[in-house]
A and B are shown apart, each in its own frame.
Chain A
């Protein structure tokens, strides 16, 4: 395999978008487009909008926890029902309607065709349908907040019988609409996921072998496959739950032969892989950003790839660690504790690869790089605290306390927020053809990161001290109202408000730069991957000449080259000269 196939394919593929320039009606252009870049932006903006709702909920219930039963500024008195509704919807929104659409759908849509050197997704109309179904599911979810009885408040895990009986949850239509919204959303991502997988497998540019595919694409594809394999049981479970809620069946009703724990199995069989479904794209962004801004080859392409696949496989066998004390056979806990703790091996490997990439590199602390580096540092906290929860003996104490929440947010905040910001700030010049403001970006970064640690570091300790989650007011528990606990909660809540306000900086920067920012070059960072080899922003059809790939994506600072980067599609100097990466 001395050389990649550089022969006949070459630059011979015809460009198929002769009619791309004619002016379209704005509705067709912005709302009915089949262009993967427009669909990506639709997903992105919908996700950001939902993030605002989820973030506002977080602020309201955090404030209620620190200052119980006092009116929350900009909201008012929080009732137990509205508290439960907000924590439930915060979880649902942030995972299903922010992390998934932004990390997986928006970046998947934007990056996959560009990075594999294609002009669009293989099924553009399926892609458009995927977004529209997702939009419908978002609207159903928001609608569910306003129906009689209010939105569903049975926690984002929606354990029956609470979620199955309106006599228990007191939200007859809210709970059904919640399940419907989530199930419809799954269908949207199944359609999108099939598109991602097939595009990355089949629509790669000539010459692009498996090991020339940028890891961001790999990660999104692995995540899509994981989603595809894990979500089916929950779709089935959602249908059962809807039938239990509305048609009087008894799948989850213990009185007539059903089993409430069944839902927990179906939910967590999906729920745990789901964490990795959103983690992997964020890791993929890191694998792109770290080499570019340290001007060094990624340390161990295969290690990262195989570790991720290993994590993905292992994650299907750990789900019951969410149910250690939920009445399952205690012997099962031993097996699942072992599999859970073993996940630390591939994850540690991934972290080592990222840290080792920095060794003898030349780091430029740009805003995307800051986000990427902070991901490594913060995710380490989330990773190591997970061990406490996976170890069954320790989990007896930690289950359902704020320790779980703190762990969870130390993984999910890096994934969903830091990962998104890293990706957004990195690809913003490509997406909108303009640069973000660097100073504003730095300010926003530091305030967000510092306030994040002030939110969650104290809550590890309140968790150890016995604060249980989903309790709307600790004032009812004398043991939990000691001054140190109250102080820790207040620190956390004030930091939440600070972080919320700091996001104004981001949105100001985002929208201002979109129209007024400094014009971006085609390849402002000197990056190798194909998306930087087309204009910023790319036109309909992406590439003027469809690229051919000659080498892997991370050839930075190659000793035999003048320039410190080596684009994937740059033809080699003479045949049989330099060996491309991958040829050993």
Chain B
């Protein structure tokens, strides 16, 4: 009796810790899961195309049944990969939120809604009994995946803008330090004049980097549900790349000032 109680307690312990750890997967782990599920999906594309070609050629009951089964397998694999992608985006956003102090939670709510839909869609696939039902199901799935993809692009841009803003804060702190040091220098010679002039010009470049981040933020905020999120994300990335180049130039200039005056 005691042994049985101990056995069940151990079983409970193992199960509980396993599920607890499974719930806390990192974004990197979820991305690996996505790669696996996406490869599985890709492996089913060729059989799906083959069955479609056979069905289009013969139009028989047997080929229709085979094509329906291939389409259902493909849909199941798609949903698994979509669940991995959605979970990956959600965890990535959570990690970014902790570090970048991003406070909005509507994206989490939307991702949770989509995960709930995908979970119910998994069961729905099993009940599909005709090609027309399957096509309607694919159309519905496509609408949901479009929303998920939009969130993926938004998270990408949010993280890029957040990282650039964080860098801006850090560079401003260094700017204040150098400004304060230059103000304390009592010597007056050509080297000091040159350093002050260079510093002033670098501050102008820093404003340029701030402007690039503002443009990225504007591009991000100007999106609506009908926007092309891929294009918005590309635009944001372009502005962020610009700011990175401007920051690099400012930092390398600051280093030059510091090494010249030390």
Asked if A and B are interacting partners, one says no
- Chain B residues in contact with chain A, CB under 8 A? none
- Chain A residues in contact with chain B, CB under 8 A? none
